[in-house]
Structure 1
């Protein structure tokens, strides 16, 4: 019984070895045939050409990368300039719709014995702001007083200018001076609102004149 099993095992191992050798031989033949066919079709030369093209493209990419970075920076800079120009145009459109209010004796300060001093202030009305928040209309002031309005005051000092402004636009009526300053040299000429036609408001007109 054992001898029969040993013989059967030996036969099986022999068959397995022969099959392995046959498969190896078949694989070798198929590989050789495939390589011969690829060589006949020039596949290796194609692969070499593709590798050369890839190397050239990579070299070209390395050369173009700094230029692409510079062009990207130029595009970003152009976009920023475009945004600033559009913002400037929007600001000009808003400034064009605002009135320029002038207070004080402008002609008197043009005399040689009295130096001309002009102060620019921004005035807002809190009552109008509150009415806007409540979605109501102020009884006698224009809705534009809900945002800062520019006032030019001619006076001998910044204190006198503030007194003049508060006399025409009294805090008791809800007016508030947000800021007041004296432009340096011709700096005020760069303000787009300086090109607007001024609306002169005499001090005696009182705060009711501010609704215009």
Structure 2
């Protein structure tokens, strides 16, 4: 092959390539315009135009929901902290359950404050056997303090027996009337109640 034929072939190939490129480009443009002018494209544009304002609204809603979620999470953590605090207080109170004072009756004119110390023999037996009592707390195995408002000692004992019956294992260890005057004692206890 001569150099002229080679150059001619190259020019011819280049022209054919350019013609093909422009034909493809022109065909693509015509095809894209046909697609853009079609009814489906028009419906899609109308739908996009109608839905476009929703995007910022969804963004705002998402931001609000994130804030609400963060606030809910903070409240949940605060409630968990409160539960932990209450649980620790409850554990502390259960360790100090011998300090609990039970009150029978209420302060009325003419009533005096009697103090009693009681235990429950059934609870003590259950604890010795290594099992819990079915109805009462294990604190009843130790001495429990009870305050009784009554007019006299027999009435105090009767109130105590009706509230903590012997048939259920309650045993009175000691019952005393405070030595200080009942007026001063009742005023101090009335303010505390």
The two structures share one fold, judged by TM-score above 0.5: no
**TM-score if structure 1 supplies the norm length?**
0.41
